C-alpha cells in the first residue's frame, strides 16, 4: 500500500489542494451570507427563503463534500511514507489548525440549520468577526506546512 501511495503522491497532493481551496472558499463565503441574512433579510419572507436555500446548498453541496475530500486526501498524504515527520512541531500545529477549521465548519453548519428553523441569536458584527477565523487558521496551516517549524 505504501508503494502505491508513493507512486500516486502527486495526484493525491493535487486533489488535496483542490479540495482545500473549495473548502476554504465556502468557509470564507458562508459567514458573509449570514451577515447579510442577519442585517438585511431577517428570519421570514421570500428573501429569507432564498438565503436559507443558498446557505443550505453551500453547506451541503460544496462545503461538506470539500471538507470530506480534504480530510481523505490529507490522511492519504499522512499515510504516504516520508511525507510527515511527527517529531517536528509543524505537523502538530497543522493538525491543530485543521481540527479548529473542522470545528468552525460544524459551527457554521449549526448556524445554517438555525436560520432554516427561523432562529438566530448572533448579530451581523459577530458573524463578521467569525469570518476572520478561517483566515487565521489558514495562516497557521500554510506557515506550518511551508516553513516546517
Q: What is the mean pLDDT of residues 103-126?
A: 97
Decide: 112 and 30 in contact? Cβ < 8 Å.
yes
Q: Is 72 exposed, middle or buried (0-12, 13-18, 19+ CB in 10 A)?
A: middle
| % of residues, the chain, pLDDT over 70 | 100
Helices (H) and strands (E) in the chain, counts: 7, 0
On the question of pLDDT at 46 being above 90, the answer is yes
On the question of pLDDT at 1 being above 80, the answer is no
Q: Which three cell numbers stand for residue 125?
A: 458584527
What residue ranges do the domains of the chain occupy? 2-147
Q: What is the mean pLDDT of the chain?
A: 96
What local confidence, expressed as pLDDT, does residue 15 receive?
A: 98
- Which among 138, 1, 18 is positioned nearest to 81, based on CA atoms? 1
Query: From residue 56, how far is each of 11, 45, 72 by CA, in Å?
Result: 30, 16, 23
How many Cβ atoms from other residues are within 10 Å of residue 90's Cβ?
A: 18
pLDDT digits (tens, 9 = 90+) for 52-98: 999 999 999 999 999 999 999 999 999 999 999 999 999 999 999 99
Query: From residue 106, how far is each of 14, 57, 64, 79, 99 by CA, in Å?
Result: 25, 15, 9, 25, 11
Amino acid at each position: 500500500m505504501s508503494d502505491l501511495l508513493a507512486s500516486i503522491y502527486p495526484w493525491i497532493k493535487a486533489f488535496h489542494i483542490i479540495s482545500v481551496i473549495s473548502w476554504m472558499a465556502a468557509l470564507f463565503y458562508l459567514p458573509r451570507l449570514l451577515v447579510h441574512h442577519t442585517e438585511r433579510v431577517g428570519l421570514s419572507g421570500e428573501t429569507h427563503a432564498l438565503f436559507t436555500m443558498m446557505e443550505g446548498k453551500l453547506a451541503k453541496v460544496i462545503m461538506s463534500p470539500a471538507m470530506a475530500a480534504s480530510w481523505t486526501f490529507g490522511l492519504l498524504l499522512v499515510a504516504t511514507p516520508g511525507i510527515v515527520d511527527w517529531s517536528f512541531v509543524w505537523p502538530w500545529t497543522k493538525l491543530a489548525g485543521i481540527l479548529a477549521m473542522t470545528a468552525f465548519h460544524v459551527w457554521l453548519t449549526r448556524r445554517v440549520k438555525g436560520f432554516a428553523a427561523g432562529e438566530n441569536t448572533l448579530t451581523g458584527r459577530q458573524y463578521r468577526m467569525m469570518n476572520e477565523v478561517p483566515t487565521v487558521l489558514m495562516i497557521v496551516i500554510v506557515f506550518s506546512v511551508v516553513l516546517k517549524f
